[in-house]
Amino acid sequence: MPNAISGFSKLTKSEKIEWLLDSYFTNKDNARTLVKQYWNSDEKLQKLHDEFIENTITNYYLPLGVAPNFLINNKLFTIPMAIEESSVVAAASKAAKFWYDRGGFKAEVISTEKIGQVHFIFKGDFKQLESFFDTIKPKLISSTSHITKNMERRGGGILNIELRNKSEDLDHYYQLHATFETLDAMGANFINSCLEQFASTFKAEADIHLENPLDIVMSILSNYVPNCIVRAEVSCPISDLKSKDISDPGIFAEKFKQAINIAEVEPFRAVTHNKGIMNGIDAVVLATGNDFRAVEAGVHAYAAKDNKYSSLTHCSIENDTFKFWIEIPLALGTVGGLTSLHPLVKFSLEMLEKPKAKDLMKIVAVAGLAQNFGAVKSLTTTGIQEGHMKMHLMNILNQFEATAEEKSKLVTHFKTNIVTHSAVVEAIENLRN
């Protein structure tokens, strides 16, 4: 076991690597080679990556793929996706082509409100606090003018501040609940700066005007944005669902709807169902330099908004029309952060024709809907494993360091045989023997 180390962040990158190798690796030469193998040969680009986070030692690569043929509001897109799961891009592409031939996807942004809160403790009279807040509210907003002036010039800024009494949930707990419009920026830094200024002004004025002390606990944006909503949908006559793997569109539509209904009422299914949606959403969010962890947290909270975790997608069959849709909260940005720093993020956004934040919300929602359609379509027809394992085949072959010739023969073999891990292992052994 290595000893604790002080001042690690002050070491050079080479010194950090050598400490790691000395502390944890038996074959230090191999480990050192691997770390350096993933450095970018362009020193300027590598320095850019090194400075994204602290204690960088190398780069961790994910594949950046593309899913073409997404027709969204009658405009054609090729969507970038950064993800390692083998079947995601294939499923999205297949769903995109399926709906391209049936009118494409429709998407609209319903609202773009974002939220931040100042959490504080107050042990005095609530009526006095309420009266004080009503008096001080204009000053809270004006105190942030040095922060908000550029955002306001573009049409955004602070929408409102409310005093919320949460003392029934936690003794003496209150909050300033603020709403914001941040336009094409995700807005985390903007919101947090405003909140900290609110807290500073609120505390200073409270010390003067309130009889009891007011203690600020923290000031932070919320990644739950139930009023930053985008909707995406597909629809067509049931008869138009007929395709190579859908021989009876009526039976398919009913079974598909049943699968969605199950995810609406059964949380164990809903979690996996929504995970499949997030396969598509996260991949595009990551490719465009947005915070997929924030998006995940907000989306899953939204899935439980009615006090039971449920499906994010819904399906209806009315008047011989099949309709499938999603409504989700997405706080995204196309300016600031990695969008102006990471070269592949710039590449991805240019591929999407430099979208505004609202446009990106639509694209990301469509990617999630397409992913879910592909998954549920497979589940209710051929089963999920047939397509998934065929895509996973190459990963298994690479684990066994199959040669190009072996890969060619085994890919041909599994065109007519079921892919399982044990079946692939057996086939490799038979081929090599």
Q: What is the Cα–Cα distance from 163 to 130, expressed in whole angstroms?
A: 7
For 67-108+233-382, which CATH class? alpha beta
Q: Which two tokens stand for residue 322?
A: 């099949």
291 has catalytic annotation: yes
For 162, other C-beta atoms within 10 Å of its C-beta total: 12
Q: What phi, psi does 93 have (nearest 5°)?
A: -65, -40
Q: Which two tokens stand for residue 409?
A: 């023969």
119 has catalytic annotation: no
Q: Do domains 67-108+233-382 and 114-222 have the same CATH topology?
A: no
Q: State yes or no: pLDDT of 420 exceeds 90.
A: no
pLDDT class of 47 with cuts at 50, 70, 90: very high
Has this prediction a pTM greater than 0.85? Answer: yes
Q: State yes or no: pLDDT of 416 exceeds 80.
A: no
Choice among 291, 342, 377, 392 that is catalytic:
291
Q: What is the Cα–Cα distance from 39 to 17, expressed in whole angstroms?
A: 13
**Residue 101's pLDDT is what?**
93
Contacts of 2 (CB under 8 A, 6+ apart): 22, 23, 24
Contacts of 203 (CB under 8 A, 6+ apart): 214, 216
Choice among 75, 275, 354, 421 that is catalytic:
275
Q: What topology is assigned to 114-222 in CATH?
A: Alpha-Beta Plaits (3.30.70)
> Strands across the sheet with 229-237, in order?
106-109, 229-237, 321-329, 313-318
Q: Sign of the C-alpha dihedral, residues 98, 326, 294, 375?
A: negative
| Collapsed DSSP state (helix, strand, coil) of residue 165 | strand
| Collapsed DSSP state (helix, strand, coil) of residue 371 | helix
Choice among 50, 85, 266, 296 that is catalytic:
85
pLDDT class of 384 with cuts at 50, 70, 90: low
**Domain boundaries in the chain?**
8-50, 67-108+233-382, 114-222, 387-432
Choice among 119, 362, 377, 388 that is catalytic:
388
Sequence letter at residue 115: I
Q: What is the Cα–Cα distance from 373 to 338, expressed in whole angstroms?
A: 30
Give per-residue pLDDT as tens, 309-368: 999 999 999 999 999 999 999 999 999 888 888 999 999 999 999 999 999 999 999 999
Q: 201 near 137, Cβ under 8 Å? A: no
